[in-house]
Amino acid sequence: MTNHEIIAIDASRLEEILAIETLSFGSPWSSAAFEGEFSQPHSFTYGVVSTTDHKLLGYIVFWLVEDEVHILNLAVHPAFRREGLANALLTHLVDLSQKAMCRMVFLEVRPSNRPALGLYESFGFVRVGIRPNYYTDTKEDALLYTLFMEDDNEY
Ligand SMILES: CC(C)(COP(=O)(O)OP(=O)(O)OC[C@H]1O[C@@H](n2cnc3c(N)ncnc32)[C@H](O)[C@@H]1OP(=O)(O)O)[C@@H](O)C(=O)NCCC(=O)NCCS
């Protein structure tokens, strides 16, 4: 496994983020979309970087609003997948969410995205609903997945 660490990242990593984003999604976020997130006080971006050369290997973007965390984006460079890096990013996010006394973490995912579904289910996220026609590019529905913190199972 690649030696790595999780760090908070800002716009200075934008080029590296966009390279991974373009390799990871058919409809990637634009540079402006990431810049918009960096300018929002409730939006956080963490990256997983190599401890040898400090290159960005993956990232997660999420909102923390009151007691809820909403994951907006998560990607790992294709050359470093299946090495536990998304697992490391999500573990970091869950730790932060627990420290912030959050009630739940939620996200939307494409039903066709088997790797992402496998990842979220391995963390205990459960399917709580569907957002019809959520993805504008394919008109695919989104599955709404939630990780309930502690014993609070009300949504
Ligand atoms: C989804 C994604 C972030 C996973 O990143 P990753 O670093 O390869 O994931 P990890 O190595 O940490 O895998 C953790 C677990 O997720 C699941 N998983 C990951 N890739 C999988 C795959 N291709 N098929 C099935 N399950 C998979 C497994 O349970 C895995 O544990 P295991 O390797 O012990 O079996 C990566 O595939 C990616 O960037 N995809 C493109 C972007 C994307 O779809 N983002 C999510 C949007 S909702």
Write out pLDDT tens, residues 90-112: 999 999 999 999 999 999 999 99
For residue 62, the CA-to-ligand 1 centroid distance in Å is 18
Tens-digit pLDDT profile for residues 43-56: 999 999 999 999 99
Distance CA 109, CA 106 (A): 10
Among 119, 122, 137, 138, residue to substitute to test ligand 1 (most atoms within 8 Å of Cβ): 119
For residue 59, the CA-to-ligand 1 centroid distance in Å is 13
Q: Please work out whether the CB of residue 90 comes within 6 Å of at least one atom of ligand 1.
A: no
Angle (CA) 107-108-111 rounded to 5° is 135
> Annotated active-site positions, please?
108, 120
Give the global pTM.
0.96
Domain range list for the chain: 4-148
Task: Tell me 141's DSSP state.
Answer: -
The CATH architecture of the domain made up of 4-148 is: 3-Layer(aba) Sandwich (3.40)
| Strand positions, DSSP E, 17-153 | 43-50, 56-65, 68-76, 104-109, 126-131, 142-148
DSSP strand pairing (104-109 vs 126-131): unpaired
